[in-house]
Amino acid sequence: MTPIYTRTGDDGTTSLAGGRRVPKDDPRIEANGTLDELNALLGVALAQALPEGVGEVLLRVQGHLFLLGAEVAAPDGGEGRRIGPPEISGLEAEIDALDALLPPLRNFILPGGTPGGSLLHLARAVARRAERQCLALGRSGAVGPASLRYLNRLSDLLFVLARSVNLRQSAPETFPGVCPRGE
């Protein structure tokens, strides 16, 4: 049996796709780490009691995040399937369908609600960090414009999913400056 540890990273480096070694704090590795963190958060959200249909959306997004991670890890753009217009339009269709069922939002809301809704709010914040990190890589051409658009839409999707989960599970939205316990 081959051990999971390789010892090759003991010097503070890791491999990009193709084998080139880079420091573990290289911007590509940071971005990929954030995408991995986001994917793990979606996995935790999937372990919660979620309304019907939400799990399928999150599983699809998890697959997309793997594609995006492969793109970020490829030093020369790499080969293979990438995020493109179909994935972006799929997110937009999900956002539009969910948003049509939500009450209009006229104020900021505080993240929270049900366990699943709260995790989706947290995932939204991590998606925004991933977007910022990938945007920096995109300036050098390391991440394509479609992937950047996808990440921008993903944070919107996660926001409306959080609101939808909370609404469907009867958790009220809390507005800044409003203490829900009357304190």
CATH number, domain with residue 132 = 1.20.1200.10
Per-residue model confidence as pLDDT tens digits over 16-60: 888 889 989 999 999 999 999 999 999 999 999 999 999 999 999
Answer positive or negative: Cα dihedral of 120, 122, 123, 124: positive
Range of 104's domain? 22-168
Residue 93 C-beta-side C-alpha neighbours within 13 Å: 7
Q: CA of 102: how far to CAs of 10, 83, 93, 123, 163, in Å?
A: 50, 28, 15, 20, 8
Rounded Cα distance between 48 and 119, Å, is 9
Per-residue model confidence as pLDDT tens digits over 83-129: 999 999 999 999 999 999 999 998 899 999 999 999 999 999 999 99
pTM above 0.75, yes or no: yes
With a CB cutoff of 8 Å and minimum separation 6, the contacts of 164 are: 51, 54, 98, 101, 102
Number of domains in the chain: 1
Residue that the structure tokens 């995790």 belong to? 119
Rounded Cα distance between 171 and 151, Å, is 27
Residue 61 included in any domain:
yes
Residue 14 included in any domain:
no
